[in-house]
Amino acid sequence: MNSWFECRVNYDKAGDEGLATRVTESYLVDAVNFTEAEKRITQEIEPFVTGDFMVASIRKVIIRELFDSQEETDDCWWKAKVMLTVIDEEKDVEKLIATVVYVKAADINRAIEHIDNQMQSSVYQYRVTNITETPIMDVYYYEANTEKA
User: What pLDDT shows up at residue 79?
Assistant: 97
The ranges assigned to domains in the chain are 4-61, 65-133
User: What pLDDT shows up at residue 14?
Assistant: 78
Per-run averaged pLDDT (10 residues), the chain, 149 residues:
90 81 94 95 91 93 94 95 89 90 96 94 90 96 60
Predicted TM-score (pTM) of this structure? 0.84
E strands, 16-112, where?
20-30, 53-61, 65-67, 76-88, 93-105
Produce one character per residue of 61-71: b if its CB has 16 or more CB atoms within 10 Å, e if not. Answer: eebebbbebee
User: Is the torsion defined by CA of 132, 133, 135, 138 positive or negative?
Assistant: positive
